[in-house]
Amino acid sequence: MGKDQLQNTDFKHIIGLISNAQNKAFKAVNKELVLLYWEIGSFVSGKVDSGAWGDGVVVKLAGHIKSHYPNLKGFTKRGLYRMKQFYETYHKIEKVSPLVTQLSWSNHLMLLSKCKSIEEKQFYILLSVKEKLSFRELQRQIESGVFERTMLAAPNVSTPLTHFQNNVNQVFKDTYVFEFLDLPINYNEQDLQNQLLVNLKKFLLELGGGFSFVGQEYRIQVGLHDYYIDLLFFHRELQCLVAVELKTTEFKPEFLGKLNFYLEALDTDVKMPHENPSIGILICKGKDTEVVEFALRRNISPTLIADYETRLIDKKLLKKKLHDLYLLFDQKQNEL
């Protein structure tokens, strides 16, 4: 290695140290800022609830802060009530309140404005902490209805997949949304596969945390023949390979035979001894639920059948379906 190359390596190391320090500083500042808003919200909440303060006092407080700290933003009447709402929303939820400082204030403001139920807010806080979602990533997850899709999902899985210790319903989706793709009008499976890889970061966001990309058209050899898996991933929590086969048509039972063959080859020649059996996902352009259930009944491999949309699903429709599901659940509970 030449002198210039050694210097470049040293310089990259220094840049890495600076970047790491900046990230740590940003996280520390964010934590203190959110904690400050929490404490202000707590104080204002106590005063308003006790009747000691009304709107007029909050307006005076906003003016008082502005006169002492003219460069500070966010301490208007509306901002102070947002802090009050922030505290009142989460302070009684033991599972969530310790986590609030791990999200940026802008993410909290988005959750307070876009998420109606406490269950939805709690879901996205836990998801944001787990997957370290940025503002735009969180915005995308909310707009694509990840909460509603997760609550409504009853993924079509084979019996062996239900034997996994982890809850597969929290890992896989029944419907995937690929609104970020730029597909031609008459696209084929290769077009779909290529566009998913062009948008790999967004694809991984839709798949969910824990997925690591292994390869495209991943080659496996059986006998004297080569076969190619559309996309291969590894899931860290499940500790297994995940083979993804893409279909631009509605699910057909014969698709399973090919996927099972791939899974057997992966488990025989690729899987490490400490890893769990490989999982297969068929992502199709639509599926008949009854056909899927019949096809999976005697399927001996851990497989999942899902479909995909290339446009965002109407959130109002998702919320209505979720509301109807809650009503049905309450009705059954009352009948017991």
Name every residue whose Cβ is closer than 8 Å to that of residue 46 and which is 6 or more positions away in sequence.
none
Long-range contacts of 169-172 (CB under 8 A, 24+ apart): 171/208, 171/210, 171/235, 171/237, 171/238, 172/208, 172/281, 172/304, 172/306
Domain count, the chain: 2
Give the per-residue pLDDT at 19: 80
User: Does 244 reside within a domain?
Assistant: yes
Are 46 and 79 found together in one domain? yes
Instruction: List pLDDT tens digits, range 243-283.
Output: 999 999 999 999 999 999 999 999 999 999 999 999 999 99
Give the per-residue pLDDT at 301: 85
Are 22 and 56 found together in one domain? yes
User: Does 321 reside within a domain?
Assistant: no
Are 76 and 173 found together in one domain? no
Are 117 and 171 found together in one domain? no
Q: Which domain holds residue 47?
A: 3-142
Give the per-residue pLDDT at 118: 92
Give the per-residue pLDDT at 127: 93
Are 154 and 295 found together in one domain? yes
User: Does 330 reside within a domain?
Assistant: no
Are 155 and 36 found together in one domain? no
What DSSP element (H or E) covers 297?
helix 289-297
Are 66 and 187 found together in one domain? no
| Main-chain phi, psi angles of 275, to 5 degrees | -90, 160
> Are the C-beta atoms of 92 and 83 separated by less than 8 Å?
no
**Burial annotation 18-41 (CB, 10 A radius, 16+ → b, else e):** eeeeeeeeeeeebeeebeebbebb
Candidate from 112-116, 220-224, 308-312, 331-335 with smallest mean pLDDT? 331-335
Instruction: List pLDDT tens digits, range 290-333.
Output: 998 898 888 888 898 999 999 988 878 887 877 665 665 455 44
Q: What is the CATH number of the domain that holds 167?
A: 3.40.1350.10
